[in-house]
Each structure stands twice: as C-alpha cells, then as structure tokens.
Structure 1
Amino acid sequence: MGKVFLIFLEGNLYSCKYCQSHLGLAKDILSKSFHCKHGKAYLFDNVVNVNVGEKEDRLMMTGIHTVVDIFCVGCGSIVGWKYEAAQDKNQKYKEGKFILERFKVLGPDGSEYVLSENVHMAGSDADDS
C-alpha cells in the first residue's frame, strides 16, 4: 500500500476522532450551521489528510449536489464529504468546500461531539439555506 504521509497543522485544529490525524483548522470553518444525517456538521474551506471517494449525486435538503465522500488517510474512516457541484445557482458557494461531521472529529480542545438519540435527518445540508 505504501507509506502514509500526514500533514501536521498548528493552532486550533480539528482531528479524526479515531486516529487523531489532523483534518482542519478552526480558522477555515465557513459555517457551523450544517447538518448531516447524524447531527451537526461544519463547512470548511480547506481540509488535509483526506482521500476522496467516487463522485455521486445526492439529494440533500437544499437540492441535488454532486459530492465525494472524504476518508481520513490515517485510519480510512469516512469523516464527511466534499461538494463537487451544485445544480442550484444559490448553492454554488459550496462547490470545492468540505463538510466534516461533528461526531467523527475531535474539537480544538480534544472534545468529542455526542450524538443525540433523537436525530432523524433525512438529508444533509445547511440550516441557513
């Protein structure tokens, strides 16, 4: 398989809950108002130490988006997705941006997001849309 090379970030960072690989900096968060089917999520301008999956169209709360799942390079866990394309012109701002699901990452202080038992989201997207 080969050697895994990780990028190490400095500052307030978010890391993989399972292997602590660095994923993104707090300063790169564009919104904390997004949701995934398991609860809350963050929209990031940039993330590191991820591999991307296959493109697919997904119906989300704000319409159809072409996305790729993103996987932690350290442990292979799915940590979120990347928006490749949005069909609605009002959603184009998401293109090239990343979603990190809160329950799959550790916060800057090492805190873990706890899932609510009452989460029943059908799609994934922003509150503010």
Structure 2
Amino acid sequence: MLFDRVNVSVGESEDRLMMTGVHTVADIFCVGCGSIVGWKYETAHEKSQKYKEGKSVLERFKVSGPDGSNYWVSQEAQIGGSDADDV
C-alpha cells in the first residue's frame, strides 16, 4: 500500500532496481527510534509507474505496534521486500 504522509524522516535519494524497474527512492526512518521502516518513491523512470512518485511504502514487518508487538505478515511477503504494492 502506498502512503501520502507518514511520521518519518527521509534519507538520501538513490537509484534502485526494483521489481517494476528503476526508481529514484529514499529510505524512510521512524522519527521515534531512527530505524528504517520503508522507502519513498522520488522519481519513477517508467511512465506506467509515475503514480508512485511522492508516495511511501512501509514494510509491515519492520513496524511495531503500540504494545511492542510486530505487525507480521506471511513469510512470502517478508522475503520480497520491494515493490510490495505491486504484489
């Protein structure tokens, strides 16, 4: 799922080869603990992927709930790790 706004800070932009092609992305960090919790799409290099620009992806297995428990998803989803919104 893509998000418009999340409570994170944004790192340096870099080009990465994702499942859907090359994108310019930046890691996003939890403002509370500083852990990497996903990435933000800065630029999509393919026209069909432009809808992702400016949106963020939170990797659920990296996010903890208010009681400290993890939001675990199936193991298959954890292994992939990139372009989860396209699965």
TM-score bin, normalised by smaller chain:
0.7 to 0.9
Aligned equivalents of 1:51 and 1:45: distance in 2? 13
For 2:11, which of 38, 53, 75 is the aligned residue?
53
Aligned to 2:59: 101
Q: Identity across aligned pairs (percent)? A: 71
What whole-Å deviation, never above 9, does each CA across 1:52-111 have from its counterpart, x for those lacking one? 111100000000000000011111100111000000000000000001000122469x86
Normalising to structure 2: TM-score of the pair?
Answer: 0.80
Residue ranges of structure 2 left out of the alignment (5+ in a row)? none
Question: What is the SS of the residue equivalent to 2:50?
Answer: helix
Amino acid corresponding to residue 43 of structure 2 in structure 1 = A
Matched with 1:71 is 29
Q: In structure 2, how many angstroms separate the alpha carbons of the residues matched to 1:117 and 1:92?
A: 29
Q: Which structure is higher in RCO with an 8 Å CA cutoff and minimum separation 6?
A: 1
- Higher alpha-carbon Rg: 1
- Ranges of 4+ aligned residues in structure 1 off by more than 4 Å: 115-119
> Secondary structure of 1:113's partner?
coil
Indicate the structure with greater strand content. 1
* Map 1:11-50 → 2, pairs under 5 A: 31=1, 43-48=2-7, 50=8
The number of equivalent residue pairs is 84
Secondary structure of the 2:49 match is helix
| Residues 107/65 of structure 1: CA separation in 2 closer, same or farther (3 Å cut) | same
Q: Which has the higher helix share?
A: 2
- Across the aligned residues of Structure 1 and Structure 2, the Cα RMSD in angstroms comes to 2.5
